[in-house]
A and B are shown apart, each in its own frame.
Chain A
Amino acid sequence: MVLSESVLAAIYLKAVVPLLEDIAEIDEEVRDIIKDWNFNLQFQLPGGLHASSLLFKEGTVEAWRARSPGPAAVLTFSNAATLNAVFQGKSDKSPRPNLYGLFRLKELLKVDSLLKKIEYYLEPDEDLLSDPEAFSNCVRLTLYAMVYGVKVIGEEDPDMIPLARNLPRGIVEIRVKDGPAVHLEVENGLFNPGKGRAVEPCAYLEFEDLQSAWIMLQGEMDQFAAIGSKKVKIRGLIPLIDGINPILDRLSLYLSG
């Protein structure tokens, strides 16, 4: 199976980096780092076709899965493979800042610490997982990464595009019982992900608890068995859930590298 470096880069830019918006809300260390930051930071591949921006303002972060809406410190990776290697911790090759970025060098030197916080929540250690609130946050953030990752794969992976185009139209909700939720609107091969519950989904998949959700999100669950034993509940337009499954599998494959 040949995976596209460009698609993986898009996953990092559009599904992973934007998690800092949510992490800033729950993590005091992150808030401390960015408390005086009032500028836009844009990560991109050459030409800016794939870009992701973080808008810092008074200790908060707003994520854009596109170019910054205003002037920004831009960090350009030389190519998709380099970006991926950096995010995977396999390379310390720094991205190239633009002129505006050169004036923000002091802040940019701390960006690496911010990005490491994403890893902290997506690949938590046992200590973090033993704290119920932190565990819930890990599941929530991973769900966010998942739905935005599905959008990238469904719309950009050449093998998955035909499959995505054949999906039934509708909104699928993925939620943990009494816990975090995400939803995904699907139409003509395009995906519109969202955080939280949907108003009236065409289909839903509900984990009975955080543990079940976490196991599934780590790709360690026999989903058919879990559904049969009611650890996972599915209702509504099942072909929509079923059809997204291969895209999820592909996402795991990308991120496992």
Chain B
Amino acid sequence: MKENGRKTYTYNKSMELFEKAATLIPGGIYGHMSPTAMVPGEYPYYTAEANGCRYKDIDGNEFIDYMCAYGPMVLGYGNPVIDGAAEAQRKMADTTNHPGPVMVELAEKLVDMVPIADWAFFAKNGGDMTTYATLAARAHTNRKKVITVRGHYHGVAPWCTSYGHGGVTAEDRQNTLQVEWNDLDGFRQMAKENRGEIAAFIAMPYHHITFGRQELPAEGYWTGVEKICREEEIVLILDDVRAGFRLNLGGSNEYFGFKPDLICFSKAVGNGYPISACVGKKELMTAASKVFFTGSFWMSAVPMAAALATLEELENTEAVKKMEKSGQLLIDGLVEIGQRHGLEINPSGPPAIPFIHFCDDPSLYLNQLFCSEVTKRGSFFHPHHNWFLSVAHDEIDIKETLNHAEEAMKAVKSALDGKSPCLAV
């Protein structure tokens, strides 16, 4: 398609490859990257190459990326400092009979950076760490039950996956209780009713659920939760997999002002290299050591070297400040464009991990239309999932994105043409 002499993107090669994939792979592409989670057919499906804050799909379309691989990319794709550290380690050793010395260096770095941390444990994915943390909490307390917040995502293990997903049984969830986000009284009541049985409370630092508006903690929520956990001897676990290292390098709890017992990190910790970490207070170290938890590649040295370099680079580049500034510039620009076109945009979440909704669009039809139109013009906006900024995004990238958004908004207005969003899509 052409617009002002400039083509909007099509995804023919993505579609073609997906057709083949669907004959070989369940779902074609599964999990969070499944096309079903976006607007199927209106987004690219396969990446060809990536550099800095941009990537190209297999149709040759280039995108300024506001998903950052769903969070892991924090310093830019192909960052030479991180890739250099990984390559240096690769030349020495990666997956062998033993971990490399870099494992101890990385643990030491995390203990130095994260105020609550006295020790660190490593794996591959965020879900490894949330499961590990709950096991450690059970080992520490000799209790079974875990309280979660409804809608918070902690991975795909059956204990934290919604009943109804394939293979998950009601029994898998029988020790998992749920409270609503920001419902301190509900949490207090649940803790009281199950006194002596709750091993842990696990939650994200703020409410950032797919398809929903992001909600920050209410005044006094986290300090209240912390107090109840102390009184009831419940282990407080922060799932900082998604937000970690974008709000505060010491953990998002430092941003919101509370002290968990365990923190789970992944995504940004290795700038795309596969690694996750759980850090904790010394009181839990003995129990943590009793949890038998491992995997074939968990001791691989290359991701650890990359993570060490990433943490150092995040400190050296004032990453948190930079991402906040870029995110604010993006959000302010989008809100202004919405106002000018008479479609009010409602941003939510911290600027470094922003998301938008249109007012009066509870079914997300407008989000789906607008985000896919922006994406077709060269800036990847997910319609249902919070976005991510990175250190690699600069002012020029943001301005280019706002130009894409301006043109996309015109396309949305044209598609609406007096119709309801439901009929326009």
Task: List residues of A whose CB falls within 8 A of some B CB.
Answer: 159-160, 162-163, 166, 170, 200-204, 222-225, 227-230, 233-239, 243, 245-247
Contact = CB atoms under 8 A, between A and B. Distances in A.
Contacts of B420: 200
Given A201-B422, A235-B368, A236-B422, A228 B362 contact: no
Output the residue of B27, B150, B423 with the most chain A CB within 10 A: B27
B18 A235 contact: no
A202 B363 contact: yes
Contacts of A239: 211
A189 to B, nearest CB: 14
Contacts of B365: 235-236
A224 B19 contact: no
Contacts of A235: 39, 365, 368, 422, 425
Contacts of A159: 163, 170
Nearest to A239: B211
A170 B363 contact: yes
Given A159-B170, A230-B40, 15 more contacts: A170-B363, A200-B422, A202-B362, A202-B422, A222-B27, A224-B28, A225-B18, A225-B22, A227-B40, A228-B29, A229-B28, A236-B425, A237-B362, A237-B363, A238-B384
B164 A163 contact: yes
Contact of B363 (A160, A228, A236): A236
Interface string B333-371: 000000000000000000000000000001111001000
A225 to B, nearest CB: 4
Contacts of A228: 18, 22, 27-29, 34-36, 40-41, 45
Main secondary structure on chain B at its contact with chain A? loop
B26 interface: yes
Contact of B164 (A202, A223, A234, A246): A246
B15 interface: yes
Nearest to B43: A228
B364 A237 contact: yes
Contacts of B39: 235
B364 A230 contact: no
Interface in B201-232: 211
Interface in B140-196: 150, 162-165, 170
B380 to A, nearest CB: 17
B15 A230 contact: yes
Interface string B360-392: 001111001000000000000000100000000
B30 interface: yes
Contacts of A222: 22, 26-28
